[in-house]
Amino acid sequence: MSVFSFNQQTGYLSLLKHPIDSGFIATTTQLITLIEQSQYCDFEIIAVNISKLFAQSKNYQSESLIVAHAINAAITINIDDKNMVAEATIKTAKGGVLLSMQDAQKALFDAGISKGISPQALDNFLGQQFEHPAGSEYSAIIAHGRNPKKGLDAKFVRLCSTAQDRVLSPQAKEGGKVDMKNLGAIITVKPGTPLMQRVAATLGEDGYTVFGDIILAKPGKEHQLQPFEGTKIDPNNPNILIADCKGVPVALPRGMRVDDVLCFDNVDVSTGHIDFTGSVIISGDIKDGMHVKANGDITVLGFVESGTIHSKGAVTIMLGAIGRKREVDEAFSCHIIAQRTICIGYAQYCHIETAQDLFIERQALHCDLRAKRLIRVGKANNPRGKVIGGNILDALRLETGELGAPAGTKTKVFLAQHWFELREKQTEIFDFEKLLADKSAVLKNARIKANKIPTPAQRQLFLDKIQLNEQHIQTRTAQLQRQKQLIKHKIMQLLATSYLKVNDLMHPGVELKIAKDTKQFSRIYPPHLVKLSEGKITQAF
């Protein structure tokens, strides 16, 4: 027979009789043990009341017989500072009612949370009440806001192939052979030919907080097609660039240009040197001592033999370029210089320089190479070409299969040399800041003296001049601060993105310089990556 009485409405557990009257329970410990062994074991024990029941008292009958309390599960909702995450905390029931889905949803509603609620997360969260001890607390994230998605910038899609595209990816004829004849006719476009399409920027996708507040997305940047020489905007579609004349298409960052094209079988003494305002396509070779200069792209399907190429566009040499063997201080007999990307099959005893990327398909032997961005020797993705001897005068990154030779051929690699120019600019800014500070101090003294001029009109005249100079100094100081931050960012980006990647072997005799740090390598190394870390050249295998 139970000695307890439970009131469902109040949640209180009481003794049916005072321990003195019942004579059944003699001590506090016995009562607590009895509760813990009963169906009310999870209830919260009211220790104060139990102590009074066993205290010496003449008026014991007036003491409360309530000994425990059933406490329902409770939920609290916490939201982060950005209103993007809602975390719920449940304090499990102590003999009371478990928290239901309706209770949780009401708590979320009362907290103002209306978006990003995960029904599955909420269901799993509530189900964990059975796994945790009575009266314990546990938490989980049950609602997420969504960050806005920035819109995509406008982009430009080429609708036709350039000479470089055709040479690097020639079409196969029947039987599997590649036909490189009549390249000029293949890549020539006619008036009205679509050249490039502009894909408009997108607006992005708005985000929201857990309260349902909208976070506006930042739209992508709009860029317009730029019609260059020989092109125009399609009158029927402002997002299409078309050819305005017959010629060879040349790809540019935000548009295209159509150049006149000049085609030769070979360039030799019979043709003389070439200096052309458009693009040049040579289906054969450039012979010894010949010069080819063009404002457009230059494409050579054969070899360049101790020749000179200057292009304001891209240069593609299908087979390779070979100069004469030279002594240490002797000038190169083969020069290839371009403003845009250079692609070449093979290079030996050449000086090659580009303001963009340099791609050599097989090998660079005793060459001087310079590129503003990437020098890659080997085919794309995992280049396995060879760089043997010579100098990498400057580049941001170098990727190759092998670097150096087993015989220890001296090979120099200089990367991120633009660092010196940026550091020089930093020094110039520091010197100029010091000069402005000195001028500011002079003006401060001048203001003190001007305030002592007895004549008001003359005093004001001097003060106005001083103020004008002070404003000029403030403007120049603000400009210098922006320049200083920009150069600092450029230096950090330069050092972070500069590296040497060797996919096969690095041989002895390699000297590497990244920015100002130099390291000599005197043994063979397996595939690895070399970068600058905390100002020191480090290798990662």
In the chain, how long is the greatest CA-to-CA distance? 134
Cβ distance 301 to 181 under 8 Å? Answer: no
> What tens digit of pLDDT does each residue of 193-251 get?
999 999 999 999 999 999 999 999 999 999 999 999 999 999 999 999 999 998 888 88
User: Which tokens belong to 70?
Assistant: 């059933």
What CA–CA distance (Å, rounded) separates 427 from 540? 33
Sign of CA dihedral 261, 265, 266, 270: negative
Average pLDDT over residues 397-415: 95
Return the structure tokens found at 428: 């110039």
- Contacts by residues 12-16 (CB-CB < 8 Å, ≥ 24 positions apart): 12/66, 12/68, 12/69, 12/70, 13/40, 13/43, 13/66, 13/67, 13/68, 13/69, 13/70, 14/64, 14/65, 14/66, 14/67, 15/53, 15/65, 15/67, 16/65
- What are 84-104's pLDDT values in tens digits? 999 999 999 998 889 999 999
Question: Tokens representing 125?
Answer: 């969260």
Task: Output the pTM of the full model.
Answer: 0.70
> At a CB cut-off of 8 Å and minimum separation 6, what does 243 contact?
189, 190, 191, 192, 193, 195, 230, 231, 249, 258
| pLDDT recorded at residue 208 | 95
Residue 403: predicted pLDDT? 97
Please state the rounded mean pLDDT for residues 176-188: 54
Q: What is the pLDDT of residues 477-505, one digit of tens each?
A: 999 999 999 999 999 999 999 999 999 99
Report residue 175's pLDDT band, with 50, 70 and 90 as the boundaries: low
Reported as type and span, the H/E element at residue 85 is strand 85-91
Asked if pLDDT for residue 300 goes beyond 70, the answer is: yes
pLDDT of residue 259: 87
For the chain, what percent of residues have pLDDT higher than 90? 70
* Residue 476 · residue 440 · CB < 8 Å: no
Check residue 63 and give its pLDDT.
74
Write out pLDDT tens, residues 45-73.
888 888 888 777 777 677 778 889 999 99
> What integer pLDDT is reported at residue 516 of this predicted model?
93
Give 508's DSSP letter.
T
User: What does the pLDDT read at residue 53?
Assistant: 80
Rg (CA), the chain: 40
Please give the Cα distance from 541 to 409 (Å, whole number). Answer: 23
* 476-481-486 Cα angle (round to 5): 125
> Residue 178: its pLDDT value, please?
47
What are the tens digits of pLDDT across the range 160-174?
A: 888 777 666 555 555
pLDDT band per the 50, 70, 90 thresholds, residue 511: very high
41 close to 105: Cβ distance less than 8 angstroms: no
CB environment 201-226: b (16+ within 10 A), e (fewer): beebeebbbbbeeeeebeebeebebb
pLDDT score at 329: 81
Q: Measured in whole angstroms, how far is the alpha carbon of residue 360 from the centre of its chain?
A: 27
Q: How confident is the model at residue 185 (pLDDT cuts 50, 70, 90)?
A: low
The band of 39, judged by pLDDT with boundaries at 50, 70 and 90, is: confident
Tell me what percent of the residues of the chain surpass a pLDDT of 70: 95
Three-state DSSP class for 420? helix
Question: Regarding beta strands 358-365 and 335-338, do their DSSP bridges make them parallel or antiparallel, or are they unpaired?
Answer: unpaired
